[in-house]
C-alpha cells in the first residue's frame, strides 16, 4: 500500500532546508559529529537526516515528560530496511548509541534520547505490505499506526484486536517494543499473542528473520517473543507478521455503579469465576469519573465510587449483559444500565478512552502507574492506592483493565512545587511496592523504560537481572541499542 499521509513532511520541510548551517557549525566544533554525519549521508537520501538542534530536540522524549532525556546528535527518518542497516553499521563502526522511536506515545521514557545518540525514527516506514484473509495475517512495517491497520483489515472482514488507548497515534513497532495491551485484552489478549514473525536489524546491521507465517511453528528458540517487549534494546524491528481474527459482531456494553471499589471488584471476580468472556471489562474510580465529566461533559454518575463497564461481542450480547448485570446487582451495584445499541456502547467506551487525558487536566503533571495484580487481589490494590493518596495528600485517580487486574493509578501533581513533586514520586513508588506485595508486576503493558529501572531489578531479582543482561550482551555487545533503558 502507499505511504500514509505524513504531516511530519510538511512540518520539517523548512527545518530540513535550513539545518545545514547549524550542522556544519557543529561539525566544525566536533570532528566526531562531522564524521558521523558524513558517513550517514553516504547512503541516506536528502531529508532523511535532521540536524537542526531545535528540530532534534522535539524528538528527545516520549509522553513521560518527567523522565530524563538527553540531546540527540541527529535524527534519522529511514524509509527502507537497507537505510536502517546503514544506520546500524555506521553506529556500530563509530560506537554511537541508537534510540529507536515510533510515535513517542509511550509512558515510561523508553523512547527518550541519550546525549549524542542517533534517534532512529521509524514513522516513515509505514507500509502495509500484505493482508491475507486466507492465512489471517497482515505484514506491516513498524511505522504503521494501529488504527490505520485496524481499519484496513476491517475492510476485508478481519480484526486486529490489540487496541491501546493511543491507538489513533501509536505505531505497531512501538506496540511490539513495549508489548502493549488495550481495552480488549480480557478476551483477545495482548500484542505478544499476535506477533508471528519479525524482521529485525541487529546492532551490527545484519538482518534477522524470526518466527513464521504459519498458524503453528516450534522450530528453534522463540526469538520473536524475545523481541516483543524488548523496548528496542535488542534490535530494530523493520517488519512484522501479525495474526488476525475474523471481525466479531458489534459489541454491546453496560455501565454499573457501585458504592465502593471493593464491591465493583467483587463483581469482576464473580464475572470471571462464572466463566463469562466479556470483550471489555473496565473500571473507573470516582476521581476518574469526575475528571471525564469535567473534560468531556459525558454525563457519567459522579456520585458513584466506582463505575464498571462491561461489553460483549457475542451472537447474543444482550443475554450476556443481562447475566452480568445480575452479578453486578448481587455484588452491590446501585444501578445497572445496559446500552440500547452500538452507538450508546461506543459513548461508554469513549468515556473510558478519555480517562487518562481527563486526569491529566487535574494538575500540571501526572505520573501514570501500570501495576498488574491477580484479579483476586484487585480490591486490595485499589483500596491500597486510595490509602496512599490520602497519606500523601495527593489526587490519584485509577482506571483499570479490571478483567486483567491491570490498574493505572494516575498521580496528579505540580512539578513546580518541590514538596508535592517529592510526595508524588514517593507515592508512585509505594504503589509499585504494593503491587509486588500483592503478587503482581510493576508493568502490565507500558514497559520499563527509564521510569521503572530500579523496580525491574527488584521484581526480577539478582539472577533474573544477570540472565537478562546476558541476553542483551549477546545481541548488542557494544551496548549501543537504547542504552540506559530496562537495566
Q: Residue 15: is its pLDDT beyond 80?
A: no
Q: Residue 21: is its pLDDT beyond 90?
A: no
247 CB-near residues (< 8 Å, 6+ apart): 154, 157, 158, 159
Which parts of 122-203 are beta strand (E)? 128-132, 137-140, 158-159, 195-201
Q: Residue 265: is its pLDDT beyond 90?
A: yes
Query: Looking at residues 316-321, what average pLDDT do you find?
Result: 96
**pLDDT score for 29:** 64
Number of H helices and number of E strands within the chain?
17, 19
Query: Looking at residues 287-291, what average pLDDT do you find?
Result: 95
**pLDDT score for 297:** 82
Q: Which of 286, 254, 248, 251 is nearest to 267 (CA)?
A: 254
pTM value is 0.90
Is the CB of residue 313 less than 8 Å from the CB of residue 258?
no
Q: What are the tens digits of pLDDT across the range 129-174? A: 999 999 999 999 999 999 999 999 999 999 999 989 889 999 999 9
Name the band, by pLDDT with cuts 50, 70 and 90, for residue 13.
very low
Candidate from 9-13, 295-299, 373-377, 413-417 with smallest mean pLDDT: 9-13
Query: Which three cell numbers mark 320?
Result: 450476556
Quote the mean pLDDT of the chain: 92
Q: What are the tens digits of pLDDT across the range 56-84? A: 999 999 998 778 999 999 999 999 999 99
12 CB-near residues (< 8 Å, 6+ apart): 47, 50, 55
Q: Residue 23: is its pLDDT beyond 70?
A: no
CA distance 104 to 444: 18
**Structural domains of the chain, ranges and CATH numbers in brackets:** 7-121 (3.30.43.10), 128-246 (3.30.465.10), 252-437 (3.40.462.10)
**pLDDT score for 118:** 98
Amino acid at each position: 500500500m502507499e505511504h500514509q499521509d505524513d504531516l511530519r513532511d510538511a512540518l520539517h520541510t523548512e527545518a530540513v532546508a535550513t539545518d545545514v548551517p547549524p550542522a556544519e557549525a557543529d561539525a566544525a566544533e566536533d570532528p566526531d559529529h562531522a564524521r558521523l554525519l558524513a558517513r550517514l549521508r553516504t547512503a541516506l537520501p536528502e531529508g532523511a537526516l535532521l540536524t537542526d538542534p531545535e528540530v532534534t530536540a522535539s524528538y528527545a522524549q516520549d509522553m513521560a515528560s518527567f523522565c530524563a532525556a538527553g540531546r540527540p546528535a541527529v535524527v534519522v527518518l529511514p524509509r527502507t530496511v537497507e537505510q536502517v542497516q546503514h544506520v546500524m553499521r555506521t553506529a556500530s563502526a563509530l560506537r554511537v548509541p541508537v534510540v529507536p522511536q515510533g510515535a513517542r506515545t509511550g509512558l515510561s521514557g523508553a523512547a527518550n534520547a541519550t546525549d549524542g545518540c542517533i534517534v532512529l525514527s521509524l514513522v516513515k516506514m509505514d507500509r502495509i505490505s500484505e493482508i491475507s484473509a486466507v492465512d489471517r495475517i497482515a505484514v506491516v512495517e513498524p511505522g504503521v499506526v494501529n488504527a490505520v491497520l485496524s481499519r484496513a483489515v476491517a475492510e476485508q472482514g478481519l480484526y486486529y484486536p490489540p487496541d491501546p488507548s493511543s491507538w489513533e497515534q501509536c505505531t505497531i513497532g512501538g506496540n511490539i517494543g513495549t508489548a502493549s495491551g488495550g481495552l480488549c485484552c480480557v478476551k483477545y489478549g495482548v500484542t505478544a499473542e499476535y506477533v508471528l514473525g519479525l524482521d529485525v536489524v541487529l546492532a551490527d546491521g545484519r538482518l534477522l528473520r524470526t518466527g513464521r507465517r504459519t498458524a503453528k511453528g516450534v522450530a528453534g528458540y522463540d526469538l520473536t517473543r524475545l523481541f516483543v517487549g524488548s523496548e528496542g534494546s535488542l534490535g530494530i524491528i523493520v517488519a512484522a507478521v501479525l495474526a488476525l481474527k475474523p471481525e466479531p459482531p458489534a459489541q454491546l456494553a453496560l455501565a454499573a455503579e457501585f458504592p465502593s471499589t471493593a464491591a465493583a471488584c467483587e463483581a469482576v471476580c464473580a464475572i470471571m469465576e462464572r466463566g463469562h468472556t466479556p470483550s471489555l471489562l473496565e473500571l473507573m474510580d470516582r476521581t476518574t469519573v469526575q475528571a471525564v465529566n469535567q473534560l468531556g461533559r459525558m454525563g457519567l454518575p459522579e456520585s458513584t465510587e466506582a463505575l464498571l463497564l462491561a461489553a460483549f461481542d457475542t451472537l447474543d450480547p444482550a443475554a450476556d449483559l443481562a447475566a452480568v448485570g445480575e452479578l453486578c446487582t448481587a455484588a452491590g451495584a446501585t444501578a445497572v444500565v445496559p446500552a440500547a445499541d452500538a452507538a450508546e456502547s461506543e459513548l461508554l467506551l469513549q468515556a473510558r478512552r478519555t480517562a487518562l487525558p481527563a486526569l491529566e487536566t487535574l494538575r500540571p503533571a501526572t505520573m501514570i502507574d501500570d501495576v498488574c495484580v491477580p484479579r483476586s487481589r484487585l480490591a486490595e490494590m485499589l483500596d491500597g492506592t486510595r490509602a496512599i493518596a490520602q497519606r500523601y495528600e495527593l489526587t490519584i485517580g485509577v482506571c483499570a483493565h479490571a478483567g486483567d487486574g491491570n490498574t493505572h493509578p494516575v498521580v496528579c501533581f505540580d512539578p513546580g512545587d518541590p514538596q508535592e513533586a517529592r510526595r508524588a514520586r514517593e507515592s508512585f513508588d509505594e504503589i509499585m511496592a504494593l503491587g509486588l506485595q500483592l503478587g503482581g508486576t510493576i508493568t502490565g503493558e507500558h514497559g520499563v523504560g527509564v521510569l521503572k529501572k530500579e523496580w525491574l531489578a527488584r521484581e526480577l531479582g539478582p539472577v533474573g537481572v544477570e540472565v537478562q543482561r546476558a541476553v542483551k550482551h549477546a545481541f548488542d555487545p557494544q551496548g549501543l541499542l537504547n542504552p540506559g533503558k530496562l537495566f
